[in-house]
Amino acid sequence: MARSAESTRQRILAAAYVLFRQRGYSRVSMDEIASATTVTKRTLYNHFQSKDQLLAAVLETQNELALAAFKTFGDQLTGSPSAIVDGLFRDLAVWADKPRWAGSGFTRLVIELADLPGHPARAIARRHKAQLETHFGDLLKRAGVRDAHRRAREIWLLSEGAISLMLVHGDRTYAAAAAEAAKRLLRGSSR
């Protein structure tokens, strides 16, 4: 083996994710990714066959990371259903308040590629969102919510809607409105 081997691959994946999340897929070039990783374009192509496959690998990696992060986050939330919802949307508001926030990388990329149903990135993003929704449903169930997975889906709808509308309007009070609605939905669903 020579030099760093596997770590180079990780550096590429990390740099590519930052760029893709920030500016989407088409408007990020391979030269740019190479430059951000301080690596030659040739090295990029030694690790990934094409730009599309790089994107797929990036999403796969981020799926694992985000899922792990969400599970840790969920384990911290052990209070009432209302507290869980408040925590979820508070985190959303904080996240959306970052200077150059551009929404969920997954959603953003899927919407950019919405006319390419066969793109590998879409299957990964789909699985990702499904896993998050399911995990959130488990969380609500553990907190004693009736019809937990149905409520989880509804709250997830509110959360995705808030992301969209905050992006369009730049108005992060949508997170608070979504939180209020979510708590209204939970009312009368405590077991």
Partner DNA sequence: GCTTAAGTATACCGGTTAGTGAATTTACAT
Partner DNA sequence: ATGTAAATTCACTAACCGGTATACTTAAGC
Binding site for a copy of itself (CB under 8 A): 22-24, 26-27, 100, 102-103, 106-108, 110-112, 114-115, 117, 122, 125-126, 129-130, 150, 153-154, 156-165, 167-170, 174, 177-178, 180-181, 184-185
Place of tokens 């669903």: 189
Question: Could you say which of DNA, a copy of itself, none residue 159 binds, taking C-beta under 5 to 8 angstroms by partner kind?
Answer: a copy of itself
CB under 8 A, 24+ apart: contacts of 3-9: 8/37, 8/39, 8/43, 8/47, 9/47
Q: 66 and 128 in contact (C-beta within 8 Å)? A: yes
Q: 11 and 48 in contact (C-beta within 8 Å)? A: no
CB-wise, 64 or 180, nearer to a copy of itself?
Answer: 180
Which residues 6+ apart lie within 8 Å of 82 measured at CB?
183, 186
Q: 163 and 106 in contact (C-beta within 8 Å)? A: no
Question: Could you say which of a copy of itself, DNA, none residue 51 binds, taking C-beta under 5 to 8 angstroms by partner kind?
Answer: DNA
Interaction residues for DNA, span 23-62 (CB under 7 A): 26, 28-32, 38-43, 45-47, 49-52
In the complex, minimum distance from the CB of residue 166 to a copy of itself, in angstroms, rounded to a whole number: 10
The residues of the shown chain that bind DNA, judged by CB under 7 A, are 1-5, 7-8, 26, 28-32, 38-43, 45-47, 49-52
